[in-house]
Structure 1
């Protein structure tokens, strides 16, 4: 899988930037988790969800991966409805390549 699988055509600048950053994390597992989620959900996220997504793109990949995989507790400031939506999306397998 080469990564970004949806076009950013039709997305506003902020969503294009988030989509790009979600697919260019540095840790392949996080590319697939965050990028896969962004491919499917980026168009429908509210401004508050976009804020939460941008915040989640800041910490180190290994930390975020440990929260998503529940090997470490998620800090309160990142345990948002959007984070739980991303984690549930990942656990459902919906973002996995065919």
Structure 2
């Protein structure tokens, strides 16, 4: 049984808010609030995969300390824009 779009978005919002690092909670919950509803299925798949990455890695990617993997580069750039606003 696959989850509905609404259920998936709810789950992903919750996962965006409940990270291991408070900074990532704030960054990803702000990004999800701003962007998740407008994502198509492919963008949701990519964001869902990103949510399974390690918080330490995510934080370094978002803050530019380490380059994000090619797969996530555009998504991380978009998240970083939200973070900097």
Which SS does the other structure have where 1:18 is aligned? Answer: helix
When normalised by structure 2's length, the TM-score is 0.86
Q: How far does residue 70 in structure 1 lie from its aligned partner after superposition? A: 0.6
What stretches of structure 1 of length at least 5 have no aligned partner? 1-10, 93-98
Provide the aligned length of Structure 1 versus Structure 2: 81
Of 17, 21, 27, which residue of structure 2 is paired with 1:27? 21
Equivalent in 76, 89, 96 of residue 82 of structure 2: 89
For structure 2, which runs of at least 5 residues remain unmatched after alignment? none
Deviations 1:17-66 (A, max 9, x none): 10000000111000000011111222111111111111111111010000
RMSD of aligned Cα (Å): 1.3
TM-score, normalization by structure 1: 0.75
- Runs of 4+ aligned residues of structure 1 deviating over 2 Å after TM superposition are none
Structure with greater helix share of residues: 2
